[in-house]
Structure 1
Amino acid sequence: MDIEQKVQYVLDRFEIQDVITRYSFGQDMHQGDDRNILETWRDVFTTDAVLDYRAAGSEPTSYENMAEIMRGNGATPGNMSGFSNWQHLMGNPVVTINGDKAAARTDLWATHKGKPIEGKSAPSLYVAGAFTDELVRTANGWRISYRKLELHFMDLINSL
């Protein structure tokens, strides 16, 4: 690789890492009943991206549908409606770049604080897993075209 190729590789790596991180940032900047995660996710996924979260019980779907599954649609609550707050921590991705395509695997640690029920604390959910992503370079930069969730374990822990 010549110096220009090396510089481009480093720039691509940083942009890919940023896109992967922006996914969790979109989740975490919109807490509770805030369903506006699509504001951020539009800069994360291609328009035809597929999210494969079968490990969590969801069939492969678009990121727009996944946002509704997670957050609801205003009339029907989503599967995160039992939580008041959450945080998604992403590890450093292992990235392979091949021209205008890339693959990445990123470890995930997510915490979800249960909403109190009738004044009593509710259990919190802790999730360890990983995302396997396929990315493509678009006119707007790198975007995830396919994301698969792998779960290592999930635990409910009673809050104090």
Structure 2
Amino acid sequence: MIDLSTDKVLDELFTMNFSIAADLGLYNITPRLQRYLGDVEDGQKLFDVFRFHRPGEVSSLKDLASIGASLVLLLSNSGEHGLRGQLLPLSVDGGYRFVGVPWLAWINANGFDSNLDLGDFPKIDSQMDQQIYMSTQKNMVDDLEEINGELRRAEEERDNFLLAAKAPIFAVDANNVIR
């Protein structure tokens, strides 16, 4: 039987989750997020771990309240990890629950070795489809460039062969001696 408690459902749908208490401490950090970030612990302050890329200018609990259901883009203060998701208000103590996933486009654009695996993304996340499409496109372009190079080399070899074939087999030197 499936456990349909809210926390379990959120953790299945969004793999990188944590709660933000009224004191801006981080709690209930999902194991995948702990593995992804490496050094995050319960109780650390939100702004000691993350900075808001979108929306900008977030620096207090009051600012979090103004975000509403908007998309939230977080970057780790180390600069190597990106998350995208949203904040859900918690009824207890006025905190929030961030529910999100790795921000794959940002990670790839910045060339970080993220050590992510397929399990770090929910099955419904379209980022994986986009990533597969983009990597397939890149592989196709790389293959076409390689084939173009091979065709250029083959054309040069053909031209060299034709020049050699047009050259006379015998040559006559200045003394009219056939060589």
- TM above 0.5: no
Which protein is richer in strand relative to its size?
1
* Structure number with bigger Rg: 2
Q: Which has the higher contact order (CA 8 A, sep 6+)?
A: 1
Q: Which structure shows the higher helix fraction?
A: 2
TM-score by length of 2: 0.28
